[in-house]
Amino acid sequence: MARETITLQIPEMLYQRLLNTAHAQRRPIEEVIVHALQVGSPPEWNDVPEEFQADLAALDKLDDNSLWQIVRNFKTADEMERYNYLLELNSSGNITETEQLELIELRHKADSFMLCKAQAAVLLRWRGHHVPTP
């Protein structure tokens, strides 16, 4: 296959994301850029609430094995039971102020957990892996 050389100016943020992916996959950046041109750029994360963006951005730098660990991670039964208990208390109006604060914190952690799992799965798909849907 014939190859052409071009000079292209791209935004620093996009370059950094491609470079992070190249390092994580231990591939030359040129190879990652060609792949990005063939299938699109790495998945975006900037359409999620700002409070979660740093965690999602950090996933770009992880290797595939680390991303698989995130995808395969689950909340424990105890964590889910406590969360569901607090949700029930909240629904019935019998929740204390301390429990409300705990529920808010648990909801934030659950949102972050699910967003990270989803982003890790999308990154793995983008990198060419088959990620089964739950």
User: pLDDT tens across 118-127, in order?
Assistant: 999 999 998 9
Q: How high does pLDDT run on average in the chain?
A: 91
Average pLDDT over residues 104-114: 95
Report residue 86's pLDDT band, with 50, 70 and 90 as the boundaries: very high
For the chain, which residues make up each domain, given as ranges? Answer: 8-40, 44-133
Task: Give the 3-state DSSP-derived string for 29-68, with helices as H, strands as E and coil as C.
Answer: HHHHHHHHHHHCCCCCCCCCCHHHHHHHHHHCCCCHHHHH
Summarised one tens digit per residue, pLDDT across range 11-66 is 999 999 999 999 999 999 999 998 888 777 666 777 889 999 999 999 999 999 99
Please give the model's pTM, rounded to 2 decimal places.
0.74
Q: Determine the pLDDT at residue 47.
A: 81
